[in-house]
Structure 1
Amino acid sequence: MVLGGEAEAGGGGSAGSVLGGVDLAMDRTLEALYGTGSPTASPTGPARREGGLGESAPRIARWLGDIRTYFPVSVVQVMQRDAIDRLGLATLLLEPEMLEAVEADVHLVGVLLSLGKAMPGSTKETARAVVRKVVEDLERRLAQRTRATLDGALDRSARVARPRHHDIDWNRTIRVNLKNYLPEHRTVVPERLVGHGRSARSVRKEVVLCVDQSGSMAASVVHASVFGAVLASMRSLDTRLVVFDTAVVDLTDQLSDPVDVLFGTQLGGGTDINRALAYCQSRITRPTETVVVLISDLYEGGIRDEMLKRVAAMKASGVEFVALLALSDEGAPAYDREHAAALAALGAPAFACTPDLFPEVMAAALEKRPLPIPGA
């Protein structure tokens, strides 16, 4: 498998004389995807050193079953991505039997969303089931930590620094002033007063997620939808989710179900960040209590100077502005470096963020403290 076709041509003998059983089947499965030559070779047919999965849906379904038999899930997901990218199999995902055969992951959800209106009715229910499985897995991994992290941040930011007498939280006040205990007087000098937090029933902070839905941002759209649903479930936050390309769509009323959010997006098209920020800016009612999170690679197709002016105006009004170049685990993203530098000059550094780091970023923004920027 390591030597590939060169081993057959050299003195090592043919693959068939060296490999057998499961090893030979694995070699053929890999060759079907990563080999070169005619695109008509079968992954389970004769041992031809010619790559390709061909045009036959049953053949591809069999190959998808083979890779799940021979390789762990993490490898299967990589091979599926390569098959979609290298061999143009995206359109085959319009078939329900194909969707049932694949291993669901964030990348696959992005492909399904990009197919959008091309998806026939017979496939839509299967596609929703695939998307729901991925979303539920993400929620299980991310929701509890996100709520715990943000609840702590909201509790800290809600405490009153200069409380009136009847608002003083005496237990916390005594704890933070124990260093001021005077033994000779057997008393604590309350140098710093801590007030009770505001009622949890009242909305303390507003969060606006403004998400670029251009094709390159697919994984970020998936994660942002899940986080949007988690934030919307917290009573102490008022959460708005806005997606955009050259048009702007407010999906806030669908945040109760992130799957509905995802199927309300339309991946692809251009990018008009300025228009999206104008919409978000028009919905802000309490700037000093608002966090705006722009998730975009910053390839602006709109009016660049106006976009920067809007960011500057929001920050001047007291809005906490966070710019994420990506919200995914896919590594360093491609992005517009000139626009990123311009945002940084305004005091809004742009950086890529993993889903695991996102709760910490939001907590820092809610508490108005420096953001935990990777590598800073």
Structure 2
Amino acid sequence: MSTISDEEAARRWRLVLGRYAADQLSVGQQDEGLERSLRYLYDREYTARGHRVGTGRGEGGAAAGRGAGLGASQPHGVDVTALGWLNEAGSLFPRETFERMQVDAVSRYGLTELLQDEAAIEALEPSRELAVAMLQVRGALNDQAAAGLRRVIQRVVEDIVKRLRTRFTTAVNGRIDRSRRSMHRVARNFDWKRTLRANLGRVDAEGRMTVQDVRFSSRAKRTLTWDVILLVDQSGSMAPSLLYSAVCAGILSGLPGINVQLYLFDTSVVDMSHLADDPVAVLMTAQLGGGTDIARAVRHAEQQVRNPSRTVVALVSDFYEGGSVSSLLTTVRRMASSGVTMLGLAALDEAAEPVYDQGTARHLAECGMEVAALTPERFAEWLGEVLS
């Protein structure tokens, strides 16, 4: 177990406590920049509680009472704009720490000026956490800040799409057909089992195989269209899943043989199908927060079903039902009996660590809905298995 010296421990506590520990702990010259950046952001914690934030000392250098001070909360000797803070903090802290500070700046301390300065927007480090924090405060933004938010969301979405598109295309675009040899000799079509069988006669006495006949499999093309209906809970706790649901809908909309219907719901249902191919527009339109009526959303989905045996309904929710649970279960049971394939997603993001109503989830599973917490990659694989 590693230990730290008393000096290093005191240094860390000084950074945690800030100027209010100035009488007992001094800040080293090498840490002055760190303290300025931390003070600029986290002194807002004190002002939010009604404290006056200043130097922490009164007249003549005497220690002041709690919250006393003479100056404003700002980095001394540096640009006090949001851009100045971003530039300094970005150069001083590790990337993960800086990303967390950005999230706090937007979600906890309302530094919306970050979104009103073009240079500040470019200086932001786009991340899923930052996008989620911004989506949760979107309703409080003015037009200029909302435009800045759109640019940040666009960058985050582009990054996620870049990472997920290939996985969805490979998993959903067609099942592997091992009955035919493929003329497309690419890695994703490599058939290692048939290759081994074809080269079993080329194994030497030491067990080494000389591979001369490399086999590839074809991917069968779907000739019939599938309807994929995404029902996405837009309550406040679902922001990360909403982000990835919008991206998944956008990717699926670009694949052949799939008709995507996208609905966001709280106590009402909003048809976003016309925007399904534009994740940014979906996210900028969503209204996070409010109640939850899952039964209403599922009934709406049932009304859209044209061909039950070729319809997939994916419900993305935490399953905390504010409406009628009995009505929800009745509708799910009826849809499952008709042949609709149903999936309940308790989480759809990179972490796949859900907090959800396990009782309702269990009842849904008993009625014919497969319930799971999946990453977007695993969701793509699941769809590929269903649509094959």
Q: Same fold (TM over 0.5)?
A: yes
1:9 Cα deviation after fit: 10
* 3-state SS, counterpart of residue 13 of structure 2: coil
Matches within 5 A, 1:189-338: 200=222, 202-330=223-351, 332-338=353-359
1:31 Cα deviation after fit: 5.3
1:54 Cα deviation after fit: 4.9
1:216 Cα deviation after fit: 1.0
Query: In 2, distance between residues paired with 1:359 and 1:338?
Result: 26
Query: In 2, distance between residues paired with 1:139 and 1:255?
Result: 14
1:63 Cα deviation after fit: 2.8
* 3-state SS, counterpart of residue 357 of structure 1: helix
Tell me what 1:155 maps to: 175
Match of 1:75 among 97, 116, 124: 97
Tell me what 1:14 maps to: 25
The answer (yes or no) to whether the contact 1:325–1:350 under 8 Å persists in 2 is: yes
Distance of aligned partners of 1:219 and 1:197 in 2 relative to their CA distance in 1, 3 Å threshold = closer
Distance of aligned partners of 1:203 and 1:232 in 2 relative to their CA distance in 1, 3 Å threshold = farther
Structure 2 gaps, min length 5 = 1-10, 58-65, 183-192, 198-217
Distance of aligned partners of 1:307 and 1:96 in 2 relative to their CA distance in 1, 3 Å threshold = farther
Query: In 2, distance between residues paired with 1:253 and 1:6?
Result: 51
Query: In 1, distance between residues paired with 2:167 and 2:219?
Result: 22
With normalisation by structure 1, the TM-score equals 0.74
* 3-state SS, counterpart of residue 356 of structure 1: helix
Matches within 5 A, 1:344-359: 344-359=365-380
**In structure 1, what residue type is equivalent to 2:304?**
R
Pairs aligned (count): 329
Tell me what 1:137 maps to: 159
**Deviations for 1:72-107, whole angstroms, at most 9, x for unmatched residues?**
33322222223445x432655664466455332223
**Deviations for 1:125-148, whole angstroms, at most 9, x for unmatched residues?**
322211111110111111111111
Tell me what 1:29 maps to: 37
1:228 Cα deviation after fit: 0.4
The answer (yes or no) to whether the contact 1:94–1:120 under 8 Å persists in 2 is: no
- Sequence identity (%): 32
Query: In 2, distance between residues paired with 1:119 and 1:8?
Result: 32
1:234 Cα deviation after fit: 0.5
* 3-state SS, counterpart of residue 376 of structure 2: coil
* 3-state SS, counterpart of residue 15 of structure 1: coil
Query: In 2, distance between residues paired with 1:278 and 1:144?
Result: 33
The answer (yes or no) to whether the contact 1:7–1:15 under 8 Å persists in 2 is: no
The answer (yes or no) to whether the contact 2:19–2:56 under 8 Å persists in 1 is: no
Matches within 5 A, 1:85-164: 85=107, 87-89=108-110, 95-96=116-117, 99=121, 101-151=123-173, 154-156=174-176
C-alpha RMSD of the superposition: 3.9
Query: In 2, distance between residues paired with 1:34 and 1:218?
Result: 24
**In structure 2, what residue type is equivalent to 1:254?**
L
* 3-state SS, counterpart of residue 305 of structure 2: coil
With normalisation by structure 2, the TM-score equals 0.72
* 3-state SS, counterpart of residue 2 of structure 1: helix
The answer (yes or no) to whether the contact 2:275–2:281 under 8 Å persists in 1 is: yes
The answer (yes or no) to whether the contact 2:157–2:247 under 8 Å persists in 1 is: yes
Match of 1:62 among 59, 84, 87: 84
Query: In 1, distance between residues paired with 2:46 and 2:303?
Result: 56
**In structure 1, what residue type is equivalent to 2:325?**
R
**In structure 2, what residue type is equivalent to 1:15?**
S
**Deviations for 1:316-349, whole angstroms, at most 9, x for unmatched residues?**
1111111111112345232112111211222434
* 3-state SS, counterpart of residue 353 of structure 2: coil
Query: In 2, distance between residues paired with 1:26 and 1:303?
Result: 52
The answer (yes or no) to whether the contact 1:90–1:111 under 8 Å persists in 2 is: no
Say yes or no: does 1:3 pair with 2:13. Answer: yes
**In structure 1, what residue type is equivalent to 2:32?**
L
Query: In 1, distance between residues paired with 2:379 and 2:39?
Result: 39
1:13 Cα deviation after fit: 7.0
Query: In 2, distance between residues paired with 1:349 and 1:339?
Result: 12
Distance of aligned partners of 1:7 and 1:217 in 2 relative to their CA distance in 1, 3 Å threshold = closer
The answer (yes or no) to whether the contact 1:329–1:355 under 8 Å persists in 2 is: yes
**Deviations for 1:232-280, whole angstroms, at most 9, x for unmatched residues?**
1011211111111111111111122211122221111111111111111
Distance of aligned partners of 1:120 and 1:82 in 2 relative to their CA distance in 1, 3 Å threshold = closer
Query: In 2, distance between residues paired with 1:113 and 1:8?
Result: 33
Structure 1 gaps, min length 5 = 160-168, 180-195, 368-376
